[in-house]
Amino acid sequence: MRYSERFRVAPGSEVVLRDIDPSWNDKHESKESAEAGLAAQAGKLRDLQYLLYAEDRRAVLLCLQGLDAAGKDGTITHVLGPMNPQGTRMHAFKVPSREEAAHDFLWRAHQHAPAKGEVVIFNRSHYEDVLVARVHDLVPKSVWSKRYDQINAFERTLAEAGTHILKFYLHISAEEQLERFKQRLDDPARRWKISETDYTERALWHEYRAAYEEALSRTSTPHAPWYVIPSNHKWFRNLAVSDIVIETLESLGMELPRPTIDLADIRRRYHEAANKKKTR
């Protein structure tokens, strides 16, 4: 079974995260056993993104969500790393600015949606407004409960305009999160990532899980599916996400555009210039 089938949240289904093993790693027992697949994926991602950029007919939006230390930054590095920066962007969603807060909650997401030919990754996304806003009571339930339908309509608008949307929930256990927090404390190169909210938000683990379960259940659609990715093993997370992105891009049947100039004429000019150079 392809990862796209195994991890996809079927539209209308109810997600129960405690029933999904965050340590599942298929047949791979270690990063070493997955290295061949990881290496092959880098080349495929590079080639497919080149085709998307050259064809300039559609766009790809990848939304990454997960609790603190779930691996959003690492996934971005692995997926965007092999690609040409000319056709890729990443946008991180933080606390709304004054200008963003003055608009509807989807305004800032639409500002950063990909143009044709682009791959864009949202590090967190418009889903923060049914996650953080819900858990911290930033708006009443009468407000955030309507946002699921608004999000579905927004994503449908993007899809109908040629944007292919893939949404990944990076699923880790509470024990793995705590271990990653410890690694940040122990590793001088990672200490800059530590924040006070890492531990205050951890106290709301069950509230966030309930918020994610409802968001995943209510907003996984045929045009914008959610995938719950087991992410306790970073290398498997990278393997699974890349595999799904590659499968999606390959399914588009992309082709290089035809030249817009007369190649025979350009070749003739080249040979004339080359012959002149020889006679000098």
Q: What is the 3-state secondary structure (H, E, C) of the chain?
A: CCHHHHCECCCCCCCCHHHCCCCCCCCCCCHHHHHHHHHHHHHHHHHHHHHHHHHCCCEEEEEEECCCCCCHHHHHHHHHCCCCHHHEEEEECCCCCHHHHCCCCCHHHHHCCCCCCCEEEEECCHHHHHCHHHHCCCCCHHHHCCHHHHHHHHHHHHHHCCEEEEEEEEECCHHHHHHHHHHHHHCCCCHHHCCHHHHHHHCCHHHHHHHHHHHHHHHCECCECEEEEECCCHHHHHHHHHHHHHHHHHHCCCCCCCCCCCHHHHHHHHHHHHHHHHHC
- Please say if the pLDDT value at position 262 is more than 80: no
Q: 127 in the Ramachandran plot: left (φ > 0), alpha (ψ -120 to 50) or beta?
A: alpha
pTM of the full structure: 0.93
Residue 105: the pLDDT is: 98
- 169 pairs with which residues across the strands? 65, 228
Mean pLDDT for the stretch of residues 156-169? 98
> Rounded CA gap, 225 and 10, in Å?
8
Topology of domain 3-279, per CATH?
Rossmann fold (3.40.50)
| pLDDT above 90 as % of the chain | 80
| Every domain of the chain and the residues it spans | 3-279
The pLDDT value recorded for residue 277 is 67
Q: What is the mean pLDDT of residues 87-105?
A: 97
**How confident is the model over 238-257, as a mean pLDDT?**
96
Q: Return mean pLDDT, the chain.
A: 94
Q: Give the model's confidence band at 31: pLDDT under 50 very low, under 70 low, under 90 confident, else very high.
A: confident
pLDDT confidence tier of residue 113, bands split at 50, 70 and 90: very high
User: Stretch 253-259: mean pLDDT, rounded?
Assistant: 92
Q: Inter-axis angle of helices 31-55 and 234-251, to 10 degrees?
A: 30
In the structure, what pLDDT confidence band is assigned to residue 279 with cuts at 50, 70 and 90?
low
As a whole number of angstroms, the distance between CA 139 and CA 141 comes to: 7
Torsion of CA 239, 240, 246, 251, to 10 degrees: 150
Residue recorded with tokens 């990278």: 238
pLDDT of residue 273 exceeding 80: no
Question: Taking 90 as the threshold, does the pLDDT of residue 138 lie above it?
Answer: yes
Tokens of 247: 């499968």
- 205 close to 198: Cβ distance less than 8 angstroms: no
pLDDT at 263: 75
**Cβ(67)–Cβ(177) below 8 Å:** yes
Residue type, 147: R
Res 190: pLDDT: 86
- What is the per-residue pLDDT for 254? 97
Give the pLDDT band (50/70/90) at residue 35: confident
pLDDT band for position 122 (cuts 50, 70, 90): very high
Q: Is the confidence at residue 274, as pLDDT, over 80?
A: no
- In the chain, pLDDT over 70 holds for what percent of residues? 99
